[in-house]
Amino acid sequence: MKTNFCLTLKKCSLALLLCVGALSCTPERNEQGILTEHPRLLFTRAEEPAVKRLIKEDPLAGELADTLRSQADSIAQLPQIPYKFDKYGNMLWTSRAYVARLGTLALAYRLYGDEKYLRAANEALLWVCNFPDWDPKHYLDTAEMTTAVAIAYDWLFDALPEATKELVKNCIYKNAVSKVLREYAYGGPGSWAKRETNWNVVCNIGMTLGALAVAEDYPQETDSILKNAAKYMPNCLKHFAPDGVCYEGPGYWGYTNSYLALYLKAVTDNGGDKGNIAKLPGVSKTALFYKRTLTPAGRIFNFANSGEGKENSPAFFLFSKLYNQPEIAEWYREELKQTLCKRIPQNQNFYLALPWFNTATATASDSLPRMEVYHNDINDLVVFNGDRKKKGSVFLIAKGGEPSQAHQQLDCGTFLLEADSVCWTEELGADDYALPGFWDYAPNGKRWEYFRNNNFSHNTLHIDRHLQHASGEAFVCEEHPDASQPSATLNMTSLYQDKAESVFRTFTLIDDCTMEVTDKVELLNANSTAYFNIVTKAQVETNGNKAVLTRNGKQFYMEITAPAGAVFKTFPAPKLSEKEYPLEGVQIIEAACRFGKTKGEITVRMSSMPK
């Protein structure tokens, strides 16, 4: 009995020790659920061992770690960036540079413990925290600098000199926390904290990170910022419903979601997503939307003020984990390989690709739907896929829109068309934000005088060489995804309110290699002329109602079958003003269409196969 008693006692003692050990490993939290110890933002101490193992075990993670360490080595040698404003009157690029600098240095120190990374980060923190301010008049600058400083302060908290920590803590309060509290209290609906654009998300999240970094010193202020950020971010994110589309275009999709990922990770680790931001309609779909609207060759549909560069933010890893989307994780790992191999410019939060790395693998996927509609209250998008296993299969993505909304162009009805890995139609992207009147969205605003912003530079319709009406809209009014020849129709009537009674544009997938675009127009004046417009970088040969496009040794064919007598003409894109970005190798294909009556149709067939 004694032996059994002793054995039982030993077992109880061991169980007690295990329980105590488990409790001692459980991170402590305050009454708000915020971790009491640092680091608490984006990459907690408990996550470090798994990442260090991953670097040794996964070849891509190891390569990524080598790249980030090499970048940290280079950053440690860089001079500090001075406090000065660029031609736009702000210092946003300086703030973004320090997000990348401080995040990369802090990560390198956490993973490798080399003092040179700590010294470099400390010097950078002292530098930016001695700036006169972080440019509050252009609050994106403040938000991004707060992000940079908050992450470095949090990640290096145990190693930084006390004097640095005191300076940083006071600086975050002075430059960020105190200002956003006033904005919540007194800012109107157009405030950067409350508006319906990317500013709302980026600024609120920058403030959230800043507050969480110093939560032990300013608990009441942190609580207020967390509640208000959750209250106001839906003003912007409501536009992601129902299918994840960011109406401001793919460039601002990347900006908004790279910050949204920071928020979701930070609040998940610190008290939970009490505002249910992750559950807002469309948010769970947004990474899938981005990936599935790329062309087969991987190009984005760069509508609105967007360039051609793809987003390479680690947000994809975070979303893939949060929403159990291995398809996104697998795709983003391939994107990472290209980023590292081709040295593609990186998102300022790129250093998080390693802490957030996701090894999940997708199961074999079925063939893509022949047509999908991504609905949105501002920019509906329609995607057509020919069978990608067939040579010459077509891909087309088209859009609706409201030109008066943020970052929009007069591009309603435009489309990007790809076959054989060649884009046969073009979107020319954004122009210089500093152009005079660039932000004047009124129907007669100067914004529309710039070529890239008006409908003459897009694959759409104009009547009597008039602009689309900036207060109009285009939206999907009819869709047939399951038909033998899938089709979708845009109601574009209000865009031509001074010239037409009605305008409807229909896209139809005729077969795997052929698309057809039909414009049904009822003019106000039978003598008006409707112009079908195509923008391309291909070489073009026209012959009456036919055009042959040649690019990269491949050919594509267009034919206008209605109205009778309509022919294609081609000319170089017009020479722009000296202040606009130059255009090279851009051709305009145009068909002038007269109906002889008020009602008429324009039908253009586009195919990778000659008729």
Cβ proximity of 475 and 382 under 8 Å:
no
Return phi, psi of residue 402, to 5°. Answer: -130, 100
Binned at pLDDT 50, 70 and 90, residue 366 comes out as low
Residue 407: closest CA among 247, 258, 294? 247
Question: Directed axis angle between helix 139-155 and helix 198-213, to 10°?
Answer: 30
Residue 78: closest CA among 108, 114, 119, 110? 119
Rounded CA-CA distance 508/525 in Å is 28
Binned at pLDDT 50, 70 and 90, residue 308 comes out as confident
Rounded CA-CA distance 453/303 in Å is 10
Helices (H), 33-136: 48-57, 59-75, 92-112, 115-128
Region of residue 72 (left: phi > 0; alpha: psi -120 to 50; beta: else): alpha
Q: What is the pLDDT of residues 223-282, one digit of tens each?
A: 999 999 999 999 999 999 999 999 999 999 999 999 999 999 999 999 999 999 999 999
Q: What is the pLDDT of residues 396-410, one digit of tens each?
A: 999 999 999 999 999
Q: What's the pTM?
A: 0.93
Instruction: Look over the chain and give the mean of its residue pLDDT values, rounded to a whole number.
Output: 94
Cβ proximity of 118 and 110 under 8 Å:
no
Q: What is the pLDDT of residues 188-240, one digit of tens each?
A: 999 999 999 999 999 999 999 999 999 999 999 999 999 999 999 999 999 99
Angstrom CA distances, 230 to 67, 233, 420, 559, stand at 35, 6, 45, 52
Residue 232: what pLDDT? 97
Q: What is the pLDDT of residues 497-528, one digit of tens each?
A: 999 999 999 999 999 999 999 999 999 999 99
| HEC-encoded secondary structure of 424-473 | CCCCCCCCCCCCCCCCCCCCCCHHHHCHHHCHHHCCCEEECCCCCCCCCC
Binned at pLDDT 50, 70 and 90, residue 5 comes out as very low
Cis peptide before 563 (omega within 30 of 0): yes
Collapsing DSSP to helix, strand or coil, 317 comes out as helix
Collapsing DSSP to helix, strand or coil, 75 comes out as helix
Rounded CA-CA distance 326/332 in Å is 10
